[in-house]
Amino acid sequence: MKIFFVHNYYGSSAPSGENMVFEAEMALLRRRGHEVREFVRSSDGIRSRGAFGTIQGAIATPWNPWAAAAVRQEVNWFKPDVVHVHNTFPMISPAVFHSIGHRAARVLTLHNYRLFCPAAIPMRHGRVCTECLDSKSAWPSLRHGCYRGSRLATLPLAASVMLHRRIGTWTGQVDAFIALTGFQRKMLVAAGLPDGLVHVKPNFYAGNPEPAPWAFRGNYALFAGRLSDEKGVADLVRAWLIWGEAAPELRILGDGPLRDTLQSMAAQAPGVQIRFLGQLASTDAEQQIAGARLLVVPSVCFEGFPMVIREAFAHGTPVAVSNIGPLPSIVRDGSSGVIFQPHDSESLCREVRAAWSAPEALEQLGNAGLAEFTTLYNEDTNYEKLMNIYTAALVKRSGRTT
């Protein structure tokens, strides 16, 4: 099969799970003998042009005729069976689906909620907000200035949402959507996607690593991700401060706008072991996950499918997550991990401390997560799901029914 991938890379200063999924899926298909080409743009190009680049990106967000024409030219030359789009924001735009037409089956991975939520993450003032999804309108986002706290910055994204709702891009120009979880699927179908076209395929981990024996793991818990409000990392630091000097070492891997604030919080209790590792190379980050006794994901937003969870499962590292969005369906409480309440440092502290105090049970949670990886999140299973989705898209494109 010939597959043509389309993706807008986010800026290199902010490593993205979407970029990782895009590259992992292309590598997977090439390993399986498929012919794969790619069309990419990068947000670094906008940043390098300063104010002019920002204006250019804003104009291109709803409809970029140049990117659409370029994709159409590539498709005419390559003649793929499937065009698989990952991210079109901000330099590609959903116009590419119209330019492809019926030349190939069109597939879109839903990494977030940007089709209907201009902020991409349904969150406002630190709390979940689904006004745009529930009302099937982007006007609430303009009223609140949801993207970067600015009505002006939100305008092109809201215009894109409204434009593609009105002209039927999502109901008539895509043959298959890939949601990362059943929760995300339910939310986006309710917001307007065609029920029969939205398939569920989680992220996967390539390879079969040998989990580190429990006795040789470090005596530390780990957070790995962007240090920003929606990730709930401030709640995690507060939970460790509540736990006090009896708490194990907490390693915080990543960078972001909250780093200085978090370090100041941690400095208030020098006897509590909180260590900031910064942004590490992917192999070094994976070693940290593989060597941990617990990974904590304290998100306060609707995640897609956090890449760190599939890495933890692959390495037999138990996971503690907040009870929000799809997380409790990925990590099952008392079976493959630990659940605590979002926005609640005391709940986080209580549940994680109880799990940590029972090391044998904690190890069993890691083993259960490893079993989930071998059945749900491994390369073979994911490849089969992806090919089934491509087949469904091809059937849809041909006008036949199964």
Q: Do 26 and 99 fall within a single domain?
A: yes
Residue 283 contacts residue 305 (beta carbons within 8 Å):
no
Q: Do 149 and 295 fall within a single domain?
A: no
- The label of the residue with tokens 């460790």 reads 240
- In terms of DSSP H, where are the helices of 200-344? 233-243, 259-267, 282-291, 307-314, 327-330
Residue 316 C-alpha from the chain's centroid: 21
CA distance 122 to 103: 34
The one-letter amino acid code at 384 reads E
CA distance 165 to 116: 8
Q: Do 161 and 247 fall within a single domain?
A: no
Question: Residue 221: what pLDDT?
Answer: 98
Structural domain containing residue 147: 2-204+379-398
Q: Do 286 and 247 fall within a single domain?
A: yes
Tell me, yes or no, whether 72 lies in a domain: yes
Q: Do 250 and 308 fall within a single domain?
A: yes
Residue by residue, pLDDT tens for the chain (402 residues) are 999 999 999 876 656 789 999 999 999 999 999 999 999 998 876 655 655 556 666 778 999 999 999 999 999 999 999 999 999 999 999 999 999 999 999 999 999 999 999 999 999 998 999 999 999 999 999 999 999 999 999 999 999 999 999 999 999 999 999 999 999 999 999 999 999 999 999 999 998 899 999 999 999 999 999 999 999 999 999 999 999 999 999 999 999 999 999 999 999 999 999 999 999 998 999 999 999 999 999 999 999 999 999 999 999 999 999 999 999 999 999 899 999 999 999 999 999 999 999 999 999 999 999 999 999 999 999 999 999 999 999 999 998 644
Tell me, yes or no, whether 292 lies in a domain: yes
- Distance between start and end Cα atoms, the chain: 20
Domain total in the chain: 2
CA distance 309 to 99: 36
Tell me, yes or no, whether 166 lies in a domain: yes
Question: How would you class 96 by CB atoms within 10 Å of its CB: exposed for 0-12, middle for 13-18, buried for 19 or more?
Answer: buried
Q: Do 313 and 251 fall within a single domain?
A: yes
Say whether pTM exceeds 0.75. yes
Question: Residue 44: what pLDDT?
Answer: 76
Q: Do 50 and 187 fall within a single domain?
A: yes
CA distance 292 to 365: 13
Tell me, yes or no, whether 39 lies in a domain: yes
Residue 178 contacts residue 115 (beta carbons within 8 Å):
no
Tell me, yes or no, whether 101 lies in a domain: yes
Alpha-carbon distances, residue 201 vs 27, 109, 250, 379 (angstroms):
17, 9, 32, 12
Residue 99 contacts residue 68 (beta carbons within 8 Å):
yes
Tell me, yes or no, whether 64 lies in a domain: yes
Question: Residue 229: what pLDDT?
Answer: 94
Tell me, yes or no, whether 209 lies in a domain: no
Q: From 301, 313, 359, select the one nearest 337 (Cα to Cα).
A: 313
Q: Are strands 82-87 and 319-322 parallel, antiparallel or unpaired?
A: unpaired
Tell me, yes or no, whether 223 lies in a domain: yes
Q: Do 177 and 230 fall within a single domain?
A: no
Q: Do 190 and 219 fall within a single domain?
A: no
Q: Do 264 and 392 fall within a single domain?
A: no
The enclosing domain of 28 has a CATH number of 3.40.50.2000
Q: Do 251 and 180 fall within a single domain?
A: no
Q: Do 352 and 387 fall within a single domain?
A: no
Question: Residue 373: what pLDDT?
Answer: 96
CA distance 106 to 397: 8
